[in-house]
Amino acid sequence: MAGAVHCHSTLYSIINPYTYPHEIQLILVSWDSLPPLNTNTATADAERQLALEVYEQSVFLSIISKDKEAFHRNISTIRSFYSSGYGHNSANYSIILGLNLLYLLVENKLSDFHCELELLSEEQREHQHVSFCTQLDQHLTVGSYDQVMSAAEHPPVPHYSFFLKFLLETVRVNIAECAAASYSKLSVQGATEVLMFANDKETLAFITAQYPDWAVNGSEIDLRATKTVKSDEIASHRLITQTLGYATELERIV
């Protein structure tokens, strides 16, 4: 027991709120009480709780550092805890479940997204951190981009904003593709409304970054320069459905 207490003290002493030191990993992997071994010892519960806290904070730190690869690795590690039944009472449990779902949604891993949902109980699926992601999926499926934009402005926790930024970029690329498929020219003001930017400056910055071949002449944008699909996240049948819907919406705006 004294050895375990010393080990825990050592672990706490090297934790830095802005890093995930290699020393922490070396200490944790030496504990047989952790998944996948799950060996029951006199200090097993304390070790599992401490390790769970470290891995949960590692998930959040990977988001703060804007490292999607580190996030994926940390999620994979913490999944072994959750699947073993540890951490379900953690205050961060539903948040991390939601972050994983949002990550899968942004990466367009839709089959994995729905498989993860199937593994959750109905009570877990109804939690705001999880239901937020399922609602986003529904909005994307039917092409309700305005609902996606609205939801992204009010995430249940700030950590979601990291992935939502990527999702909104993909949404706007999809909208731009629909616009290019529907019209040869569009006013800058109309593009700002369609792309749901706050002002024309943001619209022009987006066009410069995503569609440099589009010609901007004064207040008009020539969309005929390219019809190349810039987003791999959108399936062909969804693009057709969204294009038809947006053709109607563009007619109203223009």
The whole-number pLDDT of residue 7 equals 45
pLDDT of residue 221: 94
Instruction: Check: CB of residue 78 under 8 Å from CB of residue 59.
Output: yes
Q: Has this prediction a pTM greater than 0.85?
A: no
Predicted pLDDT at 183: 86
CA angle 116, 119, 122 (to 5 degrees): 110
Helix, strand, coil % in the chain, rounded to nearest 5: 65, 5, 30
DSSP 130-193: HHHHHHHHHHHHHT-HHHHHHHHTS-SSGGGHHHHHHHHHHHHHHHHHHHHHH-SEEEHHHHHH
- Rounded to an integer, what distance in angstroms lies between the CA atom of residue 198 and that of residue 48? 47
Predicted confidence pLDDT, tens digits, the chain (254 residues): 434 444 444 444 444 444 444 567 667 766 766 666 666 778 777 777 788 888 888 899 899 999 999 899 889 888 877 877 777 888 899 999 999 999 999 998 999 999 999 999 999 999 999 999 999 999 998 888 889 988 988 999 999 999 999 999 888 988 898 888 888 899 999 999 989 898 999 999 999 999 998 999 989 999 876 544 444 444 444 555 555 555 555 555 45
Cα separation, 160 vs 223, whole angstroms: 33
Decide: 33 and 86 in contact? Cβ < 8 Å: no
Domain boundaries, the chain: 1-90
pLDDT the model gives residue 149: 87
Q: What is the token pair recorded at 241?
A: 């459905």
In sequence order, what are the beta bridge partners of 216? 221
The pair of structure tokens assigned to 1 is 């027991």
Burial of 230 (0-12, 13-18, 19+ CB in 10 A): middle
Give the model's pLDDT for residue 157: 94
